[in-house]
C-alpha cells in the first residue's frame, strides 16, 4: 500500500493505491484526517486506486476519524473508487434490480458491455439507465407484463 496526500487549489487530495486490508485503510484515513486538521481546506477528495473491494466505511471505524471535520458544515468529503470497477459493480446491481432476478453467467458479457459504454459516456447515470433498458436481458425479461 502507498498513498499520496497533496494540497490542490481549494481542496485536499488524497490518493490511496493498492490497499489490501482494513488496517491499511485505517492508517490512510488517519493520515488524511491529520493532514486535513493541519491544513484547513473546505473540500477533501479521497480517491482509491487498484485496491481490494471497498469495505463498509462505518464498520471499519473510518468515520470516527473525520468527526471533528464533519462538525464544520463548510467541509465536504468525497470518496471515489476506481471508476471502471465502480461502473461495473453499479451496473450489476441495477441490472439485477431491473431484471427482478440474480445475474447468471450468461449476463456477464452484457454487464461488461454496459459498463464499457457508460465509461465512454463519461459515467453519466442517465447513460447507465438507458443502456440497461436497451439491453437484451431487460428487453427479453419475463414478468407480469400487461397485468393491472
Give tens-digit pLDDT for 45-81: 777 766 555 444 444 445 555 555 555 555 555 555 5
3-state secondary structure of 41: coil
> What pLDDT sits at residue 144?
55
d(CA 125, CA 21): 30
The answer to whether 46 and 75 are in contact (CB under 8 A) is no
> What pLDDT sits at residue 112?
94
> What pLDDT sits at residue 111?
94
Indicate the pTM of the whole model. 0.49
The answer to whether 44 and 7 are in contact (CB under 8 A) is no
- Rounded to 5 degrees, what are φ and ψ at 76? -130, 130
> What pLDDT sits at residue 131?
95
The answer to whether 70 and 38 are in contact (CB under 8 A) is no
Q: Which residues contact 114 (CB under 8 A, 6 or more apart)?
A: 91, 95, 128, 131, 132, 135
> What pLDDT sits at residue 55?
46
Give tens-digit pLDDT for 1-13: 778 888 877 778 8
Give tens-digit pLDDT for 125-145: 888 999 999 999 999 987 655
Give tens-digit pLDDT for 13-24: 888 887 777 777
Cell of residue 124, nine digits: 453519466
d(CA 32, CA 52): 19
The answer to whether 28 and 14 are in contact (CB under 8 A) is yes
CA atoms within 13 A on the CB side of 2: 1
Give tens-digit pLDDT for 95-121: 999 999 999 999 999 999 999 998 888
- Rounded to 5 degrees, what are φ and ψ at 80? -120, 135
Query: Any idea what DSSP says for residue 45?
Result: E
Amino acid at each position: 500500500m502507498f498513498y499520496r496526500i497533496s494540497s490542490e487549489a481549494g481542496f485536499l487530495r488524497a490518493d490511496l493505491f493498492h490497499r489490501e486490508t482494513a488496517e491499511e485503510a485505517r492508517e490512510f484515513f488517519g493520515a488524511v484526517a491529520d493532514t486535513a486538521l493541519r491544513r484547513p481546506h473546505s473540500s477533501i477528495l479521497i480517491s482509491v486506486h487498484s485496491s481490494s473491494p471497498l469495505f463498509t466505511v462505518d464498520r471499519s471505524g473510518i468515520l470516527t476519524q473525520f468527526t471533528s471535520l464533519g462538525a464544520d458544515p463548510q467541509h465536504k468529503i468525497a470518496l471515489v473508487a476506481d471508476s471502471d470497477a465502480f461502473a461495473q459493480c453499479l451496473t450489476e446491481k441495477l441490472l439485477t434490480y431491473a431484471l427482478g432476478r440474480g445475474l447468471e453467467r450468461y449476463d456477464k458479457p452484457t454487464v461488461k458491455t454496459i459498463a464499457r459504454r457508460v465509461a465512454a459516456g463519461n459515467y453519466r447515470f442517465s447513460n447507465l439507465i438507458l443502456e440497461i433498458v436497451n439491453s437484451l436481458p431487460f428487453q427479453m425479461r419475463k414478468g407480469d407484463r400487461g397485468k393491472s
